[in-house]
Structure 1
């Protein structure tokens, strides 16, 4: 069980106090959902909806990048298929 869970309603990380999902939790989630990227996006989509209710001042784009947008990017240190 991770200590890097969200602290509501401010959506900071309970383990490191960074915005949640923090880099550590993102790595954990990538590993947990390695064979199910769509399930990961759906899981995080539920959190995005909750966060949007808790943080009405945050832009939809910023919340999307924070909760879902990173899931389509290769993990840090890995190159994409085009070599970048």
Structure 2
């Protein structure tokens, strides 16, 4: 749900656990593409959340990117 960036199904902050799992499955063969996609969405979320609250959005890196990095 934009501009709140909440899940339509569970109302948790997006990407919620089910969304993360779905994205990992969808991009299982191309983690780089997943990170690029999430980076684009993170920039959109930062802009929309900042406008919504009339202040800079919090750092969204953990929410959008950290969980999707390849584990070594």
TM superposition score normalised by structure 1 = 0.73
Let me know the Cα RMSD of the aligned residues.
Answer: 1.4
Q: Is the 2:42–2:64 contact (alpha carbons within 8 Å) kept by the matching residues of 1?
A: yes
Aligned-pair distance for 1:10? 0.5
> What are the equivalent positions in structure 2 for 1:2-17 lying under 5 Å apart?
7-17=1-11
Larger proportion of strand: 1
Larger proportion of helix: 2
1:23 maps to which residue? 17
Q: Which has the higher contact order (CA 8 A, sep 6+)?
A: 2
> What are the equivalent positions in structure 2 for 1:45-60 lying under 5 Å apart?
45-56=39-50, 57-60=56-59
Give structure 1 stretches of 5+ with no counterpart.
1-6, 75-80
- Total equivalences in the alignment: 67
Rg larger in 1 or in 2? Answer: 1
